[in-house]
Structure formats: structure tokens, C-alpha cells
Amino acid sequence: MTVASNENLATVAASARPAAPRRQRGALWAWVVFIIGALYFIVPLIATFEVSMRSIPLFSAYTNAFADPGFFSSLLYSFVIGVITVVLSIVLIVPTAFWVRLRAPRLRPFVEFITLLPFVVPPVVLVFGLIKAYSRPPLPLTNSEFGSDALLVFAYVVLSLPYMYRAVDSGLRTIDIRSLTEAAQSMGASWFTILTRIILPNLRVALLSGAFLSLAIVIGEYTIASYLARPAFGPYLQLLGANRAYEPAAVSLISFGLTWLAMIAIAMLGRGSRTRIQIGGAH
């Protein structure tokens, strides 16, 4: 395998041996790999677009999709659930990560272990366990609409734990929370004031990126929403795919666009920030 080194190295190497041929080969090899990757990425999107254009008249797949009341109601439902998930996740994670850093560093491995558990428990197993645990007294949550919605939010908060905790924790690393906390306390601030007026504003970038990532995951989520029988966007799209010809293509592209928007937002936030931002998959 031959790979060209980066700029300054090549000049160093040039004194020892001619670097030009290696540079050429490296670039060609890199181009080939990149183009294969790009094709893998783009071709399915083009195919989806092509299917969405087959409906007559032009763009009717999109107008039909928008005209279906289920489209907006399910998208709105998933968006609201996503926002509640994010808020709850922040309320849960920020004080925890703050407390671990400030007062309980010994418990850090234990807390980190718990935040990684969702990686070990796949969504289908999580929803299975949740249904078993909460479909009977004392907490028969699945028996009511509100209970099921709540259960869905809690499940999504669990899914968001690894991303949120890491985002918040690396955000906390960049600020001197001990000094900030002591300064605030010496002026008589309460814990609530410290968290909401000092820690939260300093974590803006980390929180927003974690929020967008969680939103992107929640809005398209299918497995948990489907087994809890919630009218979310994922199950709606599945139903649409089973029953209609061209509209699913249009809605898939829209869903792709939404994920794209979330990632662009994260990239913009990350620019000029010292916080390492994780945008890793979640399935």
C-alpha cells in the first residue's frame, strides 16, 4: 500500500529521494477510493429522486405527500417527542456530569459505564424489556396514550445517554467549573442558579450539538415507536412504503434532508469551538 505523506513531509523526503512519482500514485489511489465512496453515497439518492419523479404530473409525489395529513401529524409528533427528549436529557445529564466532575470523580467510571449501556442493549431489546416492565401494575404505562408517549420519551432519553453524556462531559472539560462554582457560591448563588446561569450557558455548543444529533436519531426512529404503537414518523414512513408507489421516495428524500440539516447545524456549531463533537451512528 502506498500513500503519500502530507505537505511538509514530502519536502523533507524530497531531499532524500524524488517524491514526485509517489505523490502522483498516492493521489490517483486516493481519488479512486474517494470516487467509489462518493458513488456509494450518491447513487441510491439519485435512484430515490428518480422514483419520486416518475409520478405524473411532475412533483406530484411531493405534493401528494404533503397533502396527506398523516405526513405532518407524524412529523410533528416525532419532532415534539424529540424536543421533549432533548430537554429531559439535558435536565438529567448536565447536573450529573457537573456533579461527577466537581464532587464525585471516584464515581466517574461507574456513571460512564451506565451511559454506555445503551450500546449494549439494542433498541429492540430495550423496547421488549420496557413493554414487559410497564404493561402491568404498579406502573401500567402502556395502557394509556399518555403513558405510552412518556415511555417513548424515556426510551429515547436512554438512547441519547451516550451522546449527550459525552458531549456535555467534553464541554465541561473546557471550562474551569471548580473556580466558576466557588466564585458563584462565594456570592451566595444556589446550586440551581449555578447550573442554569453559569454552567448551561457555557455548555451551549456541546448541548446544541448533542441536541441536534438526538433529534436526528429520534425523528427517524422506527423500532421503539412501532412496538409502542406510537403515531411517529418512522412507522408512518414504513406504512407509506408498503402502500404507495412514489410518495415514499419523496418522503425518504425529505427525511434524508432533515438529517442533513441537523448535521450541517452541528458542523456549523463545531466550527471555532474547542469542544470535540461526536456525530456517530445510532441504530
Partner 1 sequence: MTEIASVTAERGVPPARPARRFRPGTWAGLIPFFVFALLFLGLPIAFLAFGSIADNTTGAPTLDNYAALSTPLVVNAFQTSIEVSLVTAIVGGIFGFLLAVAVILGRLPRVLRSALMTFSGVASNFAGIPLALAFIYTLSAEGMVTHLLRGVGLNLDFKIFSKFGIEIVYLYFQFPLMVLIIAPAIDGLKPEWREAAENMGASSADYWRRVALPILTPTLLGSMILLFGNSFGAQATAYQLSAGLVPLVPLAIGNQISGDVLHNAGLGYSMAMGMVAVMGVSIVGYAWLQRRAERWLR
Rounded (5°) CA angle 68-74-80: 140
Region of 188 on the Ramachandran plot (φ > 0 left; ψ -120 to 50 alpha; else beta)? left
For residue 63, the minimal CB distance to partner 1 (Å) is: 19
Closer Cβ to partner 1, 86 or 100, answer by number: 100
Residue number with CB closer to partner 1 (73 or 185) = 185
Query: Looking at beta carbons only, is 28 or 67 nearer to partner 1?
Result: 28
Shortest Å distance, C-beta 48 to partner 1: 5
Give min distance, CB of 251 to partner 1, in A. Answer: 8
Nearest-approach distance from CB 256 to partner 1, in angstroms = 6
Q: How far is the CB of 31 from partner 1 (least distance, A)?
A: 7
Q: What is the smallest separation between the CB atom of 200 and partner 1, expressed in angstroms? A: 16
Q: At what angle do helices 60-67 and 247-270 cross, to 10 degrees?
A: 80
Nearer to partner 1 by Cβ, of 171 and 181: the residue is 181
